[in-house]
Structures are given as C-alpha cells and as structure tokens.
C-alpha cells in the first residue's frame, strides 16, 4: 500500500483534514504509526456517523449541539462533512 500522507502519528491525528479517527484501517495504522493512538476498533464511516448522531441527540440545547459539531469539525473534517446530512436537527 502506498503512503498518501507525508505526516504520521500525532501529526495526522492533529490535522482535521487528514484525521479519520477510528476509520483508519489496520494497514493505515501500521503505515502511519497510529497503533496505540486510537481505540483498537476500526469503524466504517456509517458507524461513525451513527455514533455522532447519537451524541448530538443527547443534547437538548441547540448551542450544545453546535459546540459539539464545531469540535468535531476542528478534529475530523471527513466525519463532520460526511455526517452533516444525517444529523437530526
């Protein structure tokens, strides 16, 4: 598998454009030095979106939903933009 990132480890996780969170496969985790920096579970984007939607549903106040989603955007743009259409108001 060819490396598509020049960064590795924490650099990837701290770059919201590159960070896929638990979406990194085992091969990607090996290649980019991410083992031990993420939970062991590998999740597809649908599972991650489901988890985000559950979190958002727990907030009653719109401002809390906003804060949660902005933090997600700051950490994982892939998940934020993929899940944006599925988040319930």
Give the residue extent of every domain in the chain: 1-43, 45-86
Which pLDDT score is estimated for 33? 93
Q: How confident is the model at residue 2 (pLDDT cuts 50, 70, 90)?
A: low
Mean of the pLDDT values across residues 7-32?
92
Q: What is the DSSP letter of 9?
A: T
Q: What is the pTM of this model?
A: 0.80
CATH number of 1-43: 1.20.1370.30
Token pair, residue 86, equals 């599925």
The predicted-structure confidence for 20-69, as pLDDT tens digits, reads as follows: 999 999 999 999 999 999 999 999 999 999 999 999 999 999 999 999 99
Q: Are 21 and 52 in contact (CB under 8 A)?
A: no
């Amino acid at each position: 598998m060819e490396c598509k990132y020049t960064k590795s480890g924490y650099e990837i996780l701290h770059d919201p454009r590159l960070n896929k969170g638990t979406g990194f496969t085992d091969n990607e985790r090996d290649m980019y030095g991410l083992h031990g920096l993420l939970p062991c579970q590998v999740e597809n984007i649908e599972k991650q979106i489901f988890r985000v939607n559950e979190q958002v549903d727990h907030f009653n106040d719109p401002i809390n939903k906003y804060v949660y989603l902005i933090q997600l955007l700051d950490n994982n743009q892939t998940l934020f933009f993929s899940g944006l259409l599925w988040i319930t108001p």
